[in-house]
Amino acid sequence: MDEFGQPVGRAVSWTPPATLPALTATGRTVAIAPLALEHAEGLWEALGPGRSQWTYMSVEPPTGVDDLRRIVAGYLEAPGWVPHVITGLDGGVLGMASLLRIRPAEGAAEIGAISYGVRLRRATAGTEAMTLLAEHAFSAGYRRYEWKCDALNAASRAAATRLGFRFEGIWHNALVYKGRNRDTAWYAMTDDDWQRIRPVHEAWIEGTETGANGHQAFRLSEATAALWDDEGDTR
């Protein structure tokens, strides 16, 4: 309460961080590095010619390596974007994801433009890539980490919830892309949230290595949902 008897936010002793740099890191199952034009050929091989995975992306599906190279160039030139390539431990290209809308003064950043090849989808490596990028943002001093998607993109919304992001609402008529309306679903986690989420991610990733036949000992979606059950979360 302030001197007028009005409720105010908790006091924060915090210094805005520097602009979030690109990440270079190697985990248990996957590696992250800055995206470059030279990765286009590997991305084309990983992502393939399938069109459905581009439905909710802002760009049209690439028609070949040259077209995908153009998309990569656009990501590299986008203001405020820090694009990354995701590779296997053998160096093979598996997909890409970008940190974007980075606002150091607010201590906020977003993860987006995620494109996964077959080896990353429903795989431990795909989850670990998201874990490494989230840890990168929070360890750099950021307080808020966002995930936004078309409200009709059920797969993306399920992925956000599974990873531990909290649903914050729908922004109606937020964008027009590809000639159609987009209502945007907002998800986010805070630095305090991450202190609870990170150990769950790490235990799940480690469980892949120790579990029978490579299966995890528990479902990540159930574990992250349980974190908020005692807070009446309404996701």
Question: Quick one: average pLDDT of 85-112?
Answer: 97
Question: pLDDT digits over 101-144, tens only?
Answer: 999 999 999 999 999 998 898 889 999 999 999 999 999 999 99
Residue 198 carries which side chain, given as an amino acid letter?
Answer: R
Residue 80, sorted as left (phi over 0), alpha (psi -120 to 50) or beta, turns out to be: left
Q: Which of 7-16, 34-43, 201-210 has the lowest mean pLDDT?
A: 201-210
Predicted pLDDT of residue 228: 79
Decide the pairing of beta strands 31-34 and 108-116.
unpaired
Q: How many domains does the chain have?
A: 1
Q: What's the one-letter identity of residue 135?
A: E
For residues 75 and 81, the answer to whether their CB atoms sit within 8 Å is yes
Whether 31 maps to a domain, the answer reads yes
Please check the confidence at residue 219 and state whether its pLDDT lies above 60.
yes
Length of the chain: 235
Q: Is residue 1 part of a domain?
A: no
On whether residue 165 sits in a domain, the answer given is yes
Cα separations (Å) of 114 from 97, 130, 227? Answer: 4, 10, 25
The answer as to whether 12 is a domain residue is no
Close Cβ partners of 172 (under 8 Å, ≥ 6 residues apart): 183
> Is the full-model pTM beyond 0.75?
yes
For 217, the 3-state DSSP assignment is coil
In a domain, 194, yes or no: yes
User: 172 is written with which tokens?
Assistant: 């109606």
Q: Tell me, what's the pLDDT at 146?
A: 98
Distances (CA, A) of 51 to 108, 145, 155, 215: 32, 29, 15, 30
pLDDT reported for residue 47: 92
Confidence of residue 234 (pLDDT cuts 50, 70, 90): very low
User: Domain for residue 94, yes or no?
Assistant: yes
Q: Tell me, what CATH number does 155's domain have? A: 3.40.630.30
Does any domain span residue 19? no
Residue with the larger pLDDT of the pair 35 and 48: 35
Adjacency order of strands within the sheet including 108-116: 25-26, 31-34, 82-87, 93-103, 108-116, 144-150, 180-190, 166-177
Lowest-confidence pick of 67-71, 138-142, 157-161, 204-208: 204-208
Does a structural domain hold residue 14? no
pLDDT at residue 232 greater than cutoff 90: no
Q: What pLDDT is stored for residue 93 in this prediction?
A: 97
Q: Is 170 within 8 Å of 147 (Cβ atoms)?
A: no
Note down the domain range covering 63.
25-220
